[in-house]
């Protein structure tokens, strides 16, 4: 499981701590492993708290693409150990329509039409920050909807709206 793979990844990570020459190489390696191990355990633990908090709601905790340079795979793996899921690894694997795209295109429908014309087979995600935007986004049938900067009550209502859609029409 997670512990065995973390040990393997930490063994690979010793390359990151080898260049610094403190009291001894052994100390550097031990300190480096301890710092990295604590970092990954913290990610997994916090993710687990979020997962337990939303249990039974049908909502999934996803990670971010914004990770520590050089540690993306390990941090994303820590999220899965905590019960979360990986969202996307880079800019290449999903068409994400954000607020600046929506503003530039003149609305969600216009932005989605632009993306549909160029995105190919990659999934489409739309970022919404209000229930009005959610309703507009649902009309273009994205694969994913990101609820961004919404109050808890709005998030709860958004989840309820999405949950009441027919199965084939529900974004993730």
Closest CA to 160 of 134, 133, 136: 134
Q: What is the largest CA-CA distance in the chain?
A: 63
Is 98 catalytic? The answer is no
CA distance 87 to 54: 17
3-state secondary structure of 87: coil
Distances (CA, A) of 29 to 8, 39, 130: 14, 15, 48
Spatial neighbors of 165 by CB under 8 A, at least 6 apart, are 138
Return the bridge partners of 128, or none.
Answer: 147
Instruction: Spot the catalytic one: 66, 76, 98, 109.
Output: 66
Q: Which residues, 6+ apart, have CB-to-CB distance to 16 below 8 Å? A: 32, 36, 70
**Residues acting as catalytic residues:** 66
């Amino acid at each position: 499981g997670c512990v065995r793979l973390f040990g393997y990844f930490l063994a690979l990570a010793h390359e990151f701590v080898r260049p610094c020459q403190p009291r001894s190489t052994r100390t550097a390696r031990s300190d480096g492993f301890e710092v990295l191990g604590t970092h990954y355990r913290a990610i997994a633990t916090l993710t687990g708290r979020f997962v337990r908090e939303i249990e039974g709601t049908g909502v999934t905790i996803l990670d971010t693409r914004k990770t520590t340079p050089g540690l993306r795979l390990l941090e994303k793996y820590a999220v899965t150990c905590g019960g979360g899921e990986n969202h996307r690894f880079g800019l290449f694997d999903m068409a994400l329509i954000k607020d600046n795209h929506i503003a530039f295109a003149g609305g969600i429908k216009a932005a989605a039409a632009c993306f549909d014309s160029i995105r190919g087979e990659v999934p489409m995600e739309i970022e919404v920050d209000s229930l009005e935007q959610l309703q507009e986004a649902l009309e273009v049938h994205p694969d994913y909807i990101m609820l961004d900067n919404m109050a808890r009550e709005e998030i709860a209502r958004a989840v309820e709206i999405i949950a009441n859609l027919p199965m084939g029409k529900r974004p993730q």
